Amino acid sequence: MVAVKGLILICLLQLSVQVDVNKIALAKMMKYFDDNVQPKPGAQYAIAIRLTKNQCTDEKFSITSVFSLADAKIVKETIKNGQTCELCTSPKNVIAARPKSEDPKDHSEYRLLYPVGNSPMDKLLKNVDKNSCVVFYTYNSPCVKECISGEKNILDGLSNWKNKLKDGINVFAFQSIWGKDVTKDLPNEFQKIDKIVPLYQCPEAEQINCFKCRGQKTTSYCRTVPDNAYYQYINY
């Protein structure tokens, strides 16, 4: 009986292990987006793509096999014109948006995650299962004032995403810290996102790797504090 209970416990522990995205594969995706989707250098935009777990965990995975240069061009032209890409390519595996320049409170992350229940993200998640992986990338980190703490924050949208893909791989990544937030309490603010969806930084200077903000290894971008309660960004 003891042996059986022990075996059951081991099986449960194995089932609870969270599979992580391969950080090198993720970095390659981010570079591909910036090279082929970003409207112009330094311009804010957000994009999400639906993949499989195998594609997200294979360092040798090439994103062009599921998101071609031709499709990337379609997405780029769509968001350059101020429109939201809602599965705008034939594989129907990508959504993307830019903020509306005429509305200072309009943010690309919010446009993809809302309205909850009928958002571009909901449409992307329509056919996901336990073998799916969804990667959400925003060029600048979500701003504290609006995206994290404001009335139009993205937290409910992230929870909706997580609830629809509980057993798959979920990734929220960004490249640069939003310039107006460098003096904010980023460890405390960013953990609000990381508690829902694992958060990564893929800095431009490190085009071959991304950094998990609650990983065990100290890096120049994020580190784990002793109680693992939140992470801290250093060397902005």
* pLDDT for 197: 95
Q: What is the mean pLDDT of the segment spanning 227-231? A: 32
H or E stretch at 163: helix 155-164
In terms of Cβ atoms closer than 10 Å to its own Cβ (0-12, 13-18, 19+), residue 145 is middle
**Residue 201 predicted with pLDDT over 60:** yes
> SS3 of 122, please?
helix
* pLDDT for 48: 98
* pLDDT for 207: 64
**Residue 9 predicted with pLDDT over 60:** no
* pLDDT for 10: 45
pLDDT in tens, 32-57: 999 999 999 989 999 999 999 999 99
**Residue 97 predicted with pLDDT over 60:** yes
Entry field: residues in the chain: 236
**Residue 228 predicted with pLDDT over 60:** no
Q: What radius of gyration, in Å, describes the C-alpha atoms of the chain? A: 18
**Residue 211 predicted with pLDDT over 60:** yes
What is the average pLDDT score of the chain?
Answer: 83
Give the end-to-end CA distance of the chain in Å, rounded to a whole number. Answer: 55
What are the beta bridge partners of residue 49?
94, 135
φ and ψ of 150, to 5 deg:
-80, 180
pLDDT in tens, 101-121: 756 567 999 999 999 999 999
Residue 130 — pLDDT band, cuts 50, 70, 90? Answer: very high
pLDDT in tens, 212-226: 876 434 343 454 333
Cα 21–chain centre separation = 11
Cα–Cα dist 144/142, whole Å: 6
Look up the CATH number of domain 19-233. Answer: 3.40.140
